[in-house]
Amino acid sequence: MQVELVPVLSDNYAYLLIDPSNRVAAAVDPVDAAKVYARAKELQVTISTILTTHSHWDHTGGNNDLRGLIQQKENREIPVVGGRGNAVEAQSQTVTDGDVVTVGELQVKVYFTPCHTRDHVLFHCQDALFTGDTLFVAGCGRFFSGNPAEMHYALNEVVAALPEETQIYCGHEYTASNLRFAAHVEPENEVVQKKLAWAVEKTKAGEPTIPSTVKEELAKWNAVCMRLSVDFSASAPVL
């Protein structure tokens, strides 16, 4: 298995999940269809399906265009996979918790994690987890369509139960801003300060801070939202 990162828009990430045995790939959240398609051609892989984590435009907005490119240039149709509700652009296949999508010889397991949106799903393949806007590095997505209990379930029961070495491929480059929040909550945490400095330098250099891992997101320096068992409180008001 190979994961290819494709930066899109101002801070989004799309991905190619590649089966190297037959050069077949899934395009994950390919909002910039032309860029994702071009990268697939550079890597000499064939896009067989589109996996969409949720229905927000900055993740689903390239689905029709990518399907059209493949139809025009390769004369074939590909499925568009999304969660419950059929709100994903060009959705042709609906999946929910426990379903499996095949990409070449790869098996991609689906986890249903409503909260950021009602249709949000995670895609898990071997040691890679595509989290969309549910989990970022050092933070979680906004509760646009859910509640804290649902996000707690997604992060601390679904994600935290996966092997610690699982790599997390999220939907946005929010690491520095998330760590600034963590530093505000825990100003005495020196590990947070060091990680924040690292993230700021990576961002300035135009380099990604991902992937993270489940182990890192559970660590002391990282996602406050995944450390609910830790007894701490902010020393200053959280705005």
User: Catalytic residue positions?
Assistant: 54, 56, 58-59, 116, 133, 172
Rounded CA separation 7/15 (Å): 8
At 7, list the tokens. 């930066």
CB atoms within 10 A of CB 202: 16
At 238, list the tokens. 């959280």
Rounded CA separation 139/126 (Å): 23
What is the biggest distance separating any 2 CA atoms in the chain, rounded to whole angstroms?
60
Nearest alpha carbon to residue 37 among 67, 78, 80: 67
Strands (E), the chain: 2-8, 12-19, 24-28, 46-51, 80-82, 93-94, 100-103, 106-112, 121-125, 128-132, 135-136, 139-140, 167-170, 212-213
